[in-house]
Amino acid sequence: MSDRALLDRYEASLRGLARKSRLRSLSGRAGLDFASNDYLGLAGNRRMAEAVATALANGTPVGATGSRLLRGNDPHHEALEEKAARFFGAERALFFGGGYVANFAVLTTLPQKGDLIVLDELIHASAHEGARAGRAEVVEVKHNDADAVDDAIKTWRAGGGIGRAWIVAESLYSMDGDRAPLAELMAVADRHDAFLFVDEAHATGVYGPQGRGLAHYLQGRDNVVVLHTCGKALGGSGALVTAPATLADYIVNRCRPFIYATAPSPLMAVAAMEALDMLADEPERRAKLAALVTLAGTGTEAIGLKPSGTQILPLIVGDNGRAMALAEALQQRGFDVRGIRPPTVPEGTARLRISLTLNVGEADVSALFEALAEEWKR
């Protein structure tokens, strides 16, 4: 067998993806930003850059140099965790390198053998991966259906389940832009003495008082754990898990992704602290984003589609090839709009995912929807 033959099965798989219009490749940034998650425009903000530059000039290291339990525990990590716990109203916060690893870490650590994890069917891949890799039983339920969650727990109990149930949801879904019924899910959790784990990735910074998220009023409860990513509206990278102190201590002692991973850069902790201050100091950013959401909603209705009412606007096309062709046509006209295909979204729901950020203005949004109206008819 030749060395090249070793790659045959991978090449065959890639050809299969291409036939289905699902082959992916990396592409650079070009055009007006309608694709990123930099909702408040903080990633390139001067105040953020100056905070990091000042920390660097004062001797803050670029790298953590080790795990948190060894020499990697920097004072900036601890300062961020204390600040985040106060800001979000939780007993404790822990800083992770990213939202994916934080989701994976929580769901492979806190739910125990004999427990049940109830996942919304459309929740982020990291939650699915973490749940499957953990020790608890896992069941998926219909999207945003609190009754289905309740039924799943009842069925599990009737079948002999004796542990704790963990209800897992995103507060704002990344591909559909719709909100979870958090009050109803919390009621189900309380009824069954269950935990509620909420991923606020796309709501942190945008919704709630001072941008504290859609689950802000649930923080501080003994049966609530919340994830806040720092790489979207907060403009940096990393993620914060807020939880009761007991659960935070358990993660520090039992969570392999926390124990064995090199800690996040202390400079990213500095950036996250500055972003939290900016959420409190500059409420006009959220107001400007809300105005863009309203304007985009009008444009969406003009082409006969229903707006999501949030900064994440999915325009369902259906066919993979057509979705990618439409995205390319908009890119050629100077708008960075990306097509999203399975398996990121369910089969038959390929779409344009329009993301609204403060990196564009009202004139840009109006121009996008004028172009979209023309391309949509073709």
Residue where one domain finishes, among candidates 257, 280, 303: 280
Per the structure, the count of domains in the chain is 2
Residue where one domain finishes, among candidates 235, 254, 280: 280
Residue 248 backbone phi and psi in degrees, to 5: -65, -45
Cα-Cα end-to-end distance for the chain: 49
Per-residue confidence in pLDDT tens, the chain, 378 aa: 567 788 889 889 999 988 888 888 877 788 999 999 999 999 999 999 999 999 999 999 999 999 999 999 999 999 999 999 999 999 999 999 999 999 999 999 999 999 999 999 999 999 999 999 999 999 999 999 999 999 999 999 999 999 999 999 999 999 999 999 999 999 999 999 999 999 999 999 999 999 999 999 999 999 999 999 999 999 999 999 999 999 999 999 999 999 999 999 999 999 999 999 999 999 999 999 999 999 999 999 998 889 999 999 999 998 899 999 999 999 999 999 999 888 889 899 999 999 999 999 999 999 999 999 998 877
**CA distance linking residue 298 with residue 235, whole number of Å:** 28
The sign of the torsion formed by the CA atoms of 19, 21, 25, 28 equals positive
Residue where one domain finishes, among candidates 246, 280, 314: 280
Asked if residue 78 belongs to a domain, the reply is yes
Catalytic residues: 37, 124, 170, 174, 199, 202, 232
Residue 199 backbone phi and psi in degrees, to 5: -90, 110
Determine contact, residues 157/132, Cβ cutoff 8 Å: no
Q: Which two tokens stand for residue 20?
A: 């289905």
Shared-domain flag, residues 239 and 302: no
Asked if residue 366 belongs to a domain, the reply is yes
Residue 246 sits in a domain whose CATH number is: 3.40.640.10
